Amino acid sequence: MAKDERLYGRFTLDFADSPKIAPLSDLAFRTLVEMTLHSRRMLSDGFVDERIAKKKWKTRALAELLSNDPVKPSLIETSGGFLIHDFGEHQQTRADIEKKREAGRAGGKARAQAHASAGATAHAQAPSKLTTETETETSTSNEVDRPRKRGSRLTEAWLPSSELVSQVRPIAPDVDLKDQTARFVDYWIAQPGQKGVKTDWDATWRNWMRKQQDEMKPNRGRPTRTQETLSILEMGQELMGDQQKAVGQ
């Protein structure tokens, strides 16, 4: 069975029995769970934008979560939104995921180097007769030995590395990278079959941000359809005026 790559929220078995959770109304309890899962999916480390919170959840539920404990309420109101209390102690944060991704990359590089070293050793130990018998193939030996890079599908946990973000900021200065990354991930994980398979997701993300920046550029002086239509009408009016003058003369 294929490994489940979806993101999960972490809740202890006695979560519902906590002294500050148990007295909550059903609405407030559901709101807290949904806000936690939303922040987990958006990798916002417990922060929920005020506009989203007030659109998705009831005001009375938010008020209940802001006051369900005199010292450590479930929600803390902060600039621009709400912060889920102790989110990082129970849920995976963006830093946790980036650390895991970096460890995976390091492991992949180590395996690739070991594979290359093993291949070079085997090639050096091969009998010279083999080289003679396959002389017609030596011109393409590099292509034969080079491992093909397989494509992969994007997972919901994918994030651009800090180095990649630094590369893209100068070429897409007007793009909201955080928002567009969420859209990028949602778009590609929804693509069926091979359409959602890429060999270089960093390059795909970089091109996505370039396209977003290009779409934000002005039309470089090119008139819009409305402006073209108005121009044609003005030309028609001028021609009618000239004709009337000619008739009058």
What per-residue confidence (pLDDT) applies to 11? Answer: 92
Segment of 45-59, 83-97, 117-131 carrying the highest mean pLDDT:
45-59
Residues 57-83: what's their mean pLDDT?
93
**3-state helix vs strand vs coil in the chain, percent to 5:** 60, 5, 35
94-120, pLDDT tens digit by residue? 888 888 878 877 777 778 777 777 766
How high does pLDDT run on average in the chain? 82
Query: What are the beta bridge partners of residue 81?
Result: 49, 78
Residues 70-98: what's their mean pLDDT?
90
- Look-up of token digits 């480390």: 45
Q: Which residue has the higher pLDDT, 134 or 185?
A: 185
129-178, pLDDT tens digit by residue? 444 444 444 444 444 455 567 789 998 889 999 999 999 999 999 999 99
Q: Which residue has the higher pLDDT, 22 or 239?
A: 22
pTM over 0.85: no
CA 129 to chain centre: 53
- For the ranges 63-72, 80-89, 177-186, 213-222, the lowest mean pLDDT is seen at 213-222
Angle subtended at Cα 225 by Cα 221 and Cα 231, rounded to the nearest 5 degrees? 80
Residues 63-81: what's their mean pLDDT?
93
Look at the alpha carbons of 209, 211, 212, 218 in this order and tell me if their dihedral is positive or negative: positive
Which residues neighbour 46 within 8 Å (Cβ) at sequence distance 6 or greater? 36, 39, 83, 84, 85, 87, 88, 91
What per-residue confidence (pLDDT) applies to 89? Answer: 87
Query: Does position 69 have pLDDT exceeding 60, yes or no?
Result: yes
What per-residue confidence (pLDDT) applies to 125? Answer: 65
